[in-house]
A and B are shown apart, each in its own frame.
Chain A
Amino acid sequence: MMRYLLGRLSQAALLLLGVTLITFALLYILPADPARQIAGRSATAETVANIRTQLGLDLPFYQQYGRYVTQLVQGDLGRSYAQKTEVGEVVASRLPATLILMGAAIACELVIGLVIGIFAAAQQGRRSDDVVMMLSFVGVSTPQFVASLAMLYTFSVLLDWFPVGGYGEFKHVVLPAMTLGLLGAGWYARMLRSSMIDVLTQDYIRTARAKGASQLRVLMRHALRNAVLPVVAMIGIDIGLFMSGAVVVESVFGWPGIGQLAWQAIQQVDIPIIMGVTLVAAVAIVLGNLLADLVAPLIDPRIQLR
């Protein structure tokens, strides 16, 4: 187990180094000059040149990257060009909101997705199956912007149940999490449905039914346990996705997550922030997958880690 973990973690370290190199290189060849972006229209050529020197942007690529990695290894993510603050601090200030929304959204996705998935699998081939599957398809294809505004308008303006965007209390997280949950639940529902249908054709299900087990018992106890594995893997991927931000939902609901930060940093060519957010997202994807792999044997003892 320890050996497995160490192996995975050293793989992850290499992977992350690769991610920083590629992102850094992409930002380097981008035909946008951060110094000019900071300096604005009225700055003299001298001012722009000075800002470039101060930020070290006049150095060759390998030096810039070398400097970045050296700092990174020491735990220093650098300073934001635009905000003139530590990237670590800026990114950390966004983490609580990101984690809260991630947790709440995945919870919503799971509750809605699993219920629909099990229901559809049990009703396979009937009209009710078609209807819920079509609804889940509508869910995954609705643009986030449209769905967010519709939710906001319905529940905040018309019904006045929730505040119009914001952050800080429980009532603020409900709508963005529900929006993400409704939109994302379709993926889980479809995945669980097909994996349940597979399982339901197995011999041991027939045996269980022959023993006289009730439909509910068959579904929940015999089928779900065996069908849920792909869902766990999907949660792992979802964690990574949400950690890189739900940009649209965040900005409609005014949710101070990491997606908003990334979006603004890209506009400003604020390379240290872009690097920081990319790194956080990459770490989350790696950890999310690792977590899913570690949980798998707990659900299905046939799986062994090596």
Chain B
Amino acid sequence: MKLRALTAAVLSAFAIAASPTFAQEGPQGGSIVVTYKDDIVTLDPAIGYDWVNWSIIKSLFIRLMDYKPGTAELTPSLAESYEISPDGLNYTFKLHKGVKFHNGREIGSQDVKYSIERTTNPKTESPGAGFFDSISGMEAYKSGKAKEVKGVVVLDPLTVKFTLTRPDATFLHAMAINFASVVPKEAVDKAGKDFGKKVVGSGAFMLAEWKLGQQLVLKRNPDYFIKGLPKLDQITFQVGLEPMTALLKLEKGEADFAGDGIPPAKFLQIRNDPKYKSMIIEGGQLQTGYVTMNVQMKPFDKLEVRQAINMAIDKARIVKIINNRALVANQPLPPTMPGYDKDYKGYAYDIVKAKELLKQAGLEKGFATQLYVYNVDPNPRIAQAIQEDLSKIGIKVALKNLAQANVIAAGGKPMTAPMIWSGGMAWIADFPDPSNFYGPILGCAGATAGGWNWSWYCNKDLDKRAQAADAMSSPAKAAERAQLWKGIFTDIMKDAPWAPIFNEQRFSIRSKRLGGSDALFVDPVRIPINYDHVYINK
């Protein structure tokens, strides 16, 4: 389940020097109000892993690597430059000099080492500990046999070297993920287990005030190492607000950005109202909604049955049901992901052929089964549409509407959930790479008790091909690697363990005074918004 692979041709055996400053548009100053329904549970970068805190942590801390704003393109951040050895096993990062934590202390390579060791220390209970498994000596450290991670070496106060056990094409992504954020040891020691509430980082914003359960105020970090950033002086987060209330606040000018987007019930009205035209931003996101079919359970062990279900679901109608907030999908990868096959046709909607396939499987009279679904709108409505579609080929589907945690638990239990609709399991893509869509949800590693491969599909041959793709860390082979992934995913569709339904589009809404290029509001890495670069229109 390790996520490793390579997106862009950024890896090379020579040093890449990059300046983190690029042309900045928009004036500096002013403050905004952002609303969320859910509370901010923690801002500890080793722990935070949800919709609300992910992008806030991005702006409170910095990491060796980052992405160009609004894109999925890797760029050095705290690292001034880096060098990769020809065998792809050694990464040497040179840090910017004079970058300071919010407490005024300068950041050194020791802090990088400390932060990685803190995240991977079992006592920290970090959900992201697994992202760093390719670093040499990690196993011994995690099991307590070693006091430090041998593969992270401080060469001098501004140089740190990582040694890997295998070429890992996603390693630079791992250095850009929130779990790799650099934290000051003295502040962690002082706050103890409460660091998540008393954070000290080095990002564009710093903590000013936090009233638990009510509001969080961030103010500009005057010493931020990227000149000209952030644009805003202050961001106030108001939590505990229904999306509907947030919209009213936005209309009245009491808020500038609705973190949870446009509530489904108001979507059509707002979309068609010219008043809102300039406030709505549409963008793709790295998400696919799919139905899993448990290949270990009868009759889904039969390929014909799985194919028939792929053909019997009217995906276009489902997209209409959710007010066209998505595009019809025919493969696991979303269109913006490297490796997406735009020429692949998939299983077209065809009831006659679906019936034929069921007949071939000896099930012309149909059968009864269950579809598990998260009980929050619009998922039950989508499940009902699937239920109706499948009844047309004689399959009687009973719906199991459950709380999110219960659907997840059923999916990870062997021989329990014959079919699951994946919608509403709102996970943010960890980083933009096709391997993200394989290992945990379609590979053998995820097909275990407690895993996320709810089809329980395990193809050893594909696993080998995935591993081979993961190991291709040479930039010259980036195109070849994408090609490999493309083949893996279309071959998966031959076995049809999923019925891919749609790729969700994201619609953000902001106040008219909040400026910044559209890409910042549909940033693939800083979902839902890139706080560092947005500004107040003057």
Contact residues of A with B, CB < 8 Å? 30-33, 36-48, 50-51, 53-55, 79-80, 82-85, 89-90, 93-94, 97, 149, 152-153, 156-157, 160, 163-168, 250-256, 260-261, 264, 266-269
8 closest Cβ pairs, A-B complex? A32-B405, A44-B130, A256-B213, A93-B212, A254-B241, A39-B127, A164-B249, A256-B214
Complex contacts, A32 vs chain B, CB 8 Å: 403, 405-406, 408-409
Q: Closest CB-CB distance, A259 to chain B, in whole Å?
A: 10
Complex contacts, A38 vs chain B, CB 8 Å: 49, 125, 127
CB pair A44–B408 under 8 Å, yes or no, is no
CB pair A37–B405 under 8 Å, yes or no, is yes
Which of B130, B194, B241, B425 is A43 in contact with, Cβ under 8 Å? B130
B83 at the interface (CB under 8 A from A): no
Which of A43, A53, A252 is B244 in contact with, Cβ under 8 Å? A252
Complex contacts, B409 vs chain A, CB 8 Å: 31-33, 36
B131 at the interface (CB under 8 A from A): yes
Q: Known A-B contacts: A33-B408, A45-B450, A50-B125. Give 8 more (CB < 8 A).
A: A33-B405, A36-B409, A36-B412, A41-B425, A46-B129, A54-B122, A165-B241, A167-B214
Contact residues of B with A, CB < 8 Å? 1-3, 35, 37-39, 41-42, 44, 47, 49, 122-123, 125-131, 133, 142, 193-194, 196-197, 211-214, 238-242, 244-245, 248-249, 251-252, 254, 403-406, 408-410, 412-413, 425, 427, 430, 436, 440-441, 448, 450-452
In this complex, which of B125, B197, B409, B410 has the most chain A Cβ atoms within 10 angstroms of its Cβ?
B125
Given the known interface contacts A93-B212, A267-B404, the answer about A44 and B133 at a Cβ–Cβ threshold of 8 Å is yes
A80 to B213, CA, bound (A): 14
Q: With CB as the reference atom, state the residue of chain B lying closest to A254.
A: B241
CB pair A267–B130 under 8 Å, yes or no, is no
Interface of B is mostly: loop
A45 to B452, CA, bound (A): 10
Given the known interface contacts A164-B252, A254-B241, the answer about A85 and B194 at a Cβ–Cβ threshold of 8 Å is yes
CB pair B241–A44 under 8 Å, yes or no, is no
Q: Closest CB-CB distance, A53 to chain B, in whole Å?
A: 8
Q: List 22 A-B contacts (CB under 8 A).
A: A30-B405, A30-B406, A31-B409, A33-B450, A39-B127, A41-B440, A41-B452, A43-B127, A44-B1, A45-B1, A45-B451, A47-B128, A80-B41, A84-B196, A149-B244, A156-B252, A251-B240, A254-B245, A256-B214, A261-B213, A267-B404, A268-B41
Complex contacts, B425 vs chain A, CB 8 Å: 41
Given the known interface contacts A41-B441, A85-B196, A256-B214, the answer about A267 and B245 at a Cβ–Cβ threshold of 8 Å is no
Which of A33, A51, A260, A268 is B127 in contact with, Cβ under 8 Å? A51
CB pair B251–A157 under 8 Å, yes or no, is yes
A-B contact count (CB 8 A): 170
Q: With CB as the reference atom, state the residue of chain A lying closest to B448.
A: A45
CB pair A47–B405 under 8 Å, yes or no, is no
CB pair B39–A51 under 8 Å, yes or no, is no
CB pair B129–A42 under 8 Å, yes or no, is no
A53 to B394, CA, bound (A): 46
CB pair A48–B240 under 8 Å, yes or no, is no
Complex contacts, B452 vs chain A, CB 8 Å: 41
CB pair B240–A42 under 8 Å, yes or no, is no
Q: With CB as the reference atom, state the residue of chain A lying closest to B139.
A: A46
Q: With CB as the reference atom, state the residue of chain A lying closest to B46.
A: A84
A264 to B126, CA, bound (A): 20
CB pair B403–A42 under 8 Å, yes or no, is no
A253 to B254, CA, bound (A): 13
Q: Closest CB-CB distance, B441 to chain A, in whole Å?
A: 7
CB pair A42–B245 under 8 Å, yes or no, is no
CB pair B240–A255 under 8 Å, yes or no, is yes
CB pair B41–A82 under 8 Å, yes or no, is yes
Complex contacts, B41 vs chain A, CB 8 Å: 80, 82-83, 264, 268
Which of A31, A37, A82, A94 is B213 in contact with, Cβ under 8 Å? A94
A266 to B39, CA, bound (A): 13
CB pair A54–B244 under 8 Å, yes or no, is no
Which of A54, A152, A256, A260 is B123 in contact with, Cβ under 8 Å? A54
In this complex, which of A42, A50, A167, A168 has the most chain B Cβ atoms within 10 angstroms of its Cβ?
A42
Complex contacts, A44 vs chain B, CB 8 Å: 1-2, 129-130, 133
CB pair A251–B252 under 8 Å, yes or no, is no
Q: Closest CB-CB distance, B207 to chain A, in whole Å?
A: 15
Complex contacts, B245 vs chain A, CB 8 Å: 149, 152, 164-165, 251-254
Complex contacts, A167 vs chain B, CB 8 Å: 214
A168 to B217, CA, bound (A): 15
CB pair B240–A256 under 8 Å, yes or no, is yes
CB pair B37–A47 under 8 Å, yes or no, is no
A31 to B403, CA, bound (A): 10
Complex contacts, A45 vs chain B, CB 8 Å: 1, 448, 450-451
CB pair A83–B125 under 8 Å, yes or no, is no
CB pair A260–B448 under 8 Å, yes or no, is no
Q: Closest CB-CB distance, A222 to chain B, in whole Å?
A: 47
Q: Closest CB-CB distance, A190 to chain B, in whole Å?
A: 30
A84 to B127, CA, bound (A): 13
